[in-house]
Structure 1
Amino acid sequence: MNHAQEASRLSFFQAAWVVARRDFKAILFSRAFFFFLLGPLFPVIVGALAGGIGGQVQREAVSNTIAVVMSEEDNAAMLEARKTAQEGIGGFPIMVTLSRVDNDEPIDARSLLAANDYAVVVSGTPEAPVLTGTEAQMNRLDGPVTLLAAMAAGNAPSNYPTVTRNALATTAAAAKSDRIRTAQAGQLLLFLLMMLLAGMVLSNLVEEKANKVIEVLAAAIPMDSVFFGKLFAMLGVSFVGIAVWAGFGGIIGALAGEALPELPEPALGWPLFILLGVAYFSMGYLLLGSLFLTIGGMATTVREVQTLSMPVTMAQLLVFFLAAFAMTNPGSPLELFAAIFPLSSPFAMLARAAQSGELWPHFLALAWQALCVAIFIKAGATLFRRRVMKSGKGGRGKKGRLVSPIPIEPQ
């Protein structure tokens, strides 16, 4: 039995596995991939440091502002106590800025917090202060407020007042608004990873076209299997890269501690949200990668690749903006369109996972995306086969396949 007959007996998935294993090993153990992994770490580290510093500045500028809503005399006493504490106590744990609110009408603390960037509101009197705010902010500022109230009442340091807490409950509207931040973060991370990693598919195919490897593969096994194997090999390599970056991210997160912002929990919970994020990244990567493989098959030079890939890149930006805008109005025709359109579906559905607790739409979306991946691979392989058959200079068999086989061992 010759090699051509042996190769012809391989099934679609066996042939794809041979190609995937070959590409995975070739890329994973190359020096270029090592430097590719290091490349994004430097801007990520710089961005994390800049974000930590910016977040600290924002917390100092906004979150430490306390609104004092008392009588004019008590307000003045609290402001004077704050000035004395800041000047006389070195290393004051939290530099509190008191904002005096002058208004003859009674002021509702909850409305004041909703309309302004105050951390908490202090009302009542220095002898019996009332603290209004979220539990986290009240826990953080309870000590300074107690000290300042005692100083304003003239009782410090022997007698400190009891602070009455008025906790703000999280409303459904606030929870929905918070989950939008999680949806935005998930979409942005998904987009950056796809755009960063999908380019490997294009560069790999162009390189193999230049040294005629792809034509030799096309002579031995169906192009559908070649495309399928290459895409899943690149997907596997991408997961290796993501694991490395996630490891470094975990180290940075452990060192940063509370300096990193916390994202609200998505509607489906973090475990399911992360699992769906992996699934939607896989589908989005395969969809975009199949387009890049088609572009690589149409191009003959690196310049042509750059020219042809630019419209796809710009279209992907528009798709990302479409999904980002559509998630602000769940259930609208625009959001449904973004969830159905193949290239925007992973972004739109990941945002829905953060905002909605329904699970069944995700099974439907993943099945639809998998079908689109199969269609894209089939169309790209067909187009590539026609171009190779048209431009190839070697002999051809009766079925239009190049006749220079390579040995393929079934696994």
Structure 2
Amino acid sequence: MIETIRAAFVIARRDFTAIIFSKSFFFFLLGPLFPLGIGVAAGGLGSQVSRDIDNSVIGVALNQEEAETLLATRARLIGSLGSKALPELIILPDFSAQEPDIIAKLDSEKSLTAILSGTLAAPVLTGSAGDVKRWQGKITLLAETALSRPATVDIETRFIGQTGSSSERGQLLTAQAGQAILILLTMILAGMVLSNLVEEKTNKIIEILAAAIPMDSIFLGKLFAMLGMALVGITVWSTMGVSVALLVGGNWNALPSPAVGWPLFCLLLVLYFSMAYLLLGSLFLGIGAMATTVREVQTLSMPVTMGQLLVFFLAYSAITKLGEPIEWFAVLFPFSSPFAMIARAAQMDNLWQHGLALAWQGLFTMIIIRFSVMLFRRNVMKSGQAARKKSLFARVTGK
């Protein structure tokens, strides 16, 4: 094992140095500018998830008669305005409308966006600043319509720091952003493993290396060299992005905070990118073991790329379904696991699950590498049973 790791380090250092100090690496750093435009154009993919997220519910703490009148008014207006134009209203029975009780209710009930108290003539809307400002006009419309007489209602607003509902929506947005970053970076960078291996197969360099170093070491070294190159590129892109953001300015506090906190979330983002890269890169190594020409590479890698998009869509659709079977499947399936787990990091603060997930993904990466080595030996080094049969046939026929 020590010799394997040492030999892998030699290969990784050789490949990493050759790539970083090449002229093409500079142009590689310009690569994200193109998928960035594609990512912006594909923003409509999240419409269904956004509809699941944006389900605003306002608790009504009025007297029973006024509360029922308000709900009946909403039912009438929905026919002309549509269900999404007005927030959902639920009556809070036997609820004290005192301010401390309202704040406690909003903190404990994640389903509630805000609470309407007071009277129809003098309503009071309590919630986070963003939620209150968003729904203040619609609540005023409902109150004025419910009064059934010409009247102007001045709604009183009370702001609290952040409700459970607004916090949950912010964490979901962070989960979406984390998954989008992972899939873009993985698809940009993982293909370089394949092109590097095919190039060395064409030049017969890989066979020279295989004569002196175990194949496991060669594959591990190449995989981690490409990962190191990817991390260098990400560091450059991140530094440029942060520098531009600091120059432009902005409200950093407005960023929705993930459940585990930003420092740990960023660390997990790097770790899960590494695992997604290693998983896909090891699969590409297996493809490179079977391919002999660039055309074969394109033919064999296309299903893998499409499959990667499918597992991303699987994890993306499971963001709003924590704990459901489809979300557990996304967590346990190795290729979708990094995307599903970064979403969990944004929404759940328990850390032990990430250790288990990283270990599971690492184990599956090693299994794929071993299988890729077997394919390479059989198809390139001709050390499998098929090669022995061919050698026997040559001896018998004299060809």
Q: TM-score, normalised by structure 2?
A: 0.67
Q: Could you tell me which residue of structure 2 aligns to residue 321 of structure 1?
A: 313
Q: 1:170: Cα distance to partner? A: 3.2
Q: Is the 8 A contact 2:207 2:381 kept in 1?
A: no
Q: Distance in 2 between matches of 1:177 and 1:353?
A: 14
Structure 2 residue 371 is the aligned partner of structure 1 residue 379: yes
Give 3-state SS (helix, strand or coil) of 1:358's partner. Answer: coil
Match of 2:327 among 326, 332, 335: 335
Q: Which residue of structure 1 aligns with residue 229 of structure 2?
A: 237
The correspondence of residues 88-107 of structure 1 with structure 2, limited to 5 A, is none
Matched letter for residue 295 of structure 2: R
Partner amino acid, structure 1, of 2:329: F
- Cα pair 1:290 1:377 within 8 Å, conserved: yes
Determine if contact 1:179/1:266 at 8 Å carries over to the other structure.
yes
Structure 2 Cα separation of the partners of residues 138 and 331 of structure 1:
30
| Residue correspondences, number | 306
Letter in 2 for 1:323: A
C-alpha displacement of 1:13? 0.6
1:249 to 218, 234, 241: 241
CA 1:264/1:233 → structure 2, altered by over 3 Å: closer, same or farther?
Answer: same
> Alignment partner for residue 202 of structure 1, among 175, 194, 198?
194
Tell me the residue number matched to 1:80: none
Which of 155, 160, 183 is 2:175 aligned to? 183
Contact 2:128–2:163 under 8 Å retained in 1: no
Offset, 1:286 = 0.4
Q: SS state of the match for residue 329, structure 1?
A: coil
Q: Secondary structure at the match of 1:166?
A: strand
CA distance in 2: counterparts of 1:260 and 1:297, whole angstroms: 47
What amino acid maps onto 2:267 in structure 1?
L
Deviation at 1:383, TM superposition (A): 1.0
Judging changes above 3 Å, is the alpha-carbon distance between structure 1 residues 360 and 240 closer, same or farther for their aligned structure 2 residues? same
| Contact 1:113–1:133 (CA under 8 A) maintained in structure 2 | no
CA contact (8 A) 1:129 1:164 kept: yes
CA displacement 1:126-151 (0-9 Å, x = unmatched): xx998876446999xxxxxxxxxxxx
Distance 2:375 2:203 in 1: 20
Task: Give CA deviations for 1:255-295 in whole Å, capped at 9, x if unaligned.
Answer: 33238994311111111111111111111100000001111
Alignment-mate amino acid for residue 343 of structure 2: A
CA distance in 2, matches of 1:354, 1:248: 24
| Aligned counterpart, 2:273 | 281
Percent of paired sites with the same residue: 61
Of 292, 296, 303, which aligns to 1:300?
Answer: 292
Structure 2 match to 1:27: 19
The aligned counterpart of 1:4 is none
Aligned to 1:364: 356
Please report how far the alpha carbon of residue 325 of structure 1 lies from its aligned counterpart in structure 2 after TM superposition: 1.0
SS in 2 for 1:170: coil
Q: Is the 8 A contact 1:266 1:353 kept in 2?
A: yes
Q: State the SS of the aligned residue for 2:258.
A: coil
Amino acid at match of 1:174: S
Partners of 2:176 and 2:366 lie apart in 1 by 29
Seen in structure 2, the aligned counterparts of structure 1 residues 202 and 261 have a Cα distance that, compared at 3 Å, is: farther
Which amino acid counterpart does residue 369 of structure 1 have in structure 2? Answer: Q
* Shift in CA distance, 356/259, structure 1 to aligned 2, threshold 3 Å: closer
How much has 1:41 moved relative to structure 2?
3.3
Q: Structure 2 matches for 1:50-129, cutoff 5 A?
A: 114=87
2:258 alignment partner in structure 1: 266
CA distance in 1 between counterparts of 2:231 and 2:319 reads: 27
SS in 1 for 2:27: helix
1:41 paired residue among 25, 33, 38: 33
Identify the residue that residue 86 of structure 1 maps to in structure 2.
none
Question: How many Å separate the matches in 2 of 1:197 and 1:254?
Answer: 27
Matching residue's letter, 1:239: L
Query: Superposition RMSD on alpha carbons, in Å?
Result: 3.9
Residue type matched to 2:199 in 1? E
Give the unaligned 5+ runs of structure 2: 44-69, 75-84, 90-115, 134-154, 389-399
For 2:368, the aligned partner's letter is F
Q: Which one has the largest radius of gyration?
A: 1
> What is the CA deviation profile of residues 172-201 of structure 1, one whole-angstrom value per residue up to 9, with x for unaligned ones?
233222211110100010010000000110
**Alpha-carbon distance in 1 for matches of 2:374, 2:38:** 44
Q: CA deviation at 1:252?
A: 2.2
Q: TM-score, normalised by structure 1?
A: 0.65
Distance in 1 between the 2:254 and 2:338 partners?
23
| Residues 326 and 334 in structure 1, CA contact (< 8 A), matched pair in contact too | yes
Tell me how far apart the structure 2 counterparts of residues 386 and 184 of structure 1 sit (CA, whole Å).
42
Q: What is the rounded CA distance, in whole Å, between the counterparts of 2:322 and 2:34 in structure 1? A: 36
Change (3 A) 1:42 1:310: closer
> In structure 2, the residue corresponding to 1:167 is in which secondary structure?
strand
Q: Which residue is equivalent to 2:397?
A: none
Report how far residue 229 of structure 1 moved. Answer: 0.4
Structure 2 partner of 1:81: none
Q: Which runs of 4+ in 1 moved over 6 A?
A: 45-48, 128-133, 136-139
Closer, same or farther: CA 307–222 of 1 in aligned 2, 3 Å: same
Residue 208 of structure 2: which of 212, 216, 230 is its match? 216
Gaps of 5+ in 1: 1-8, 52-102, 140-162, 397-411
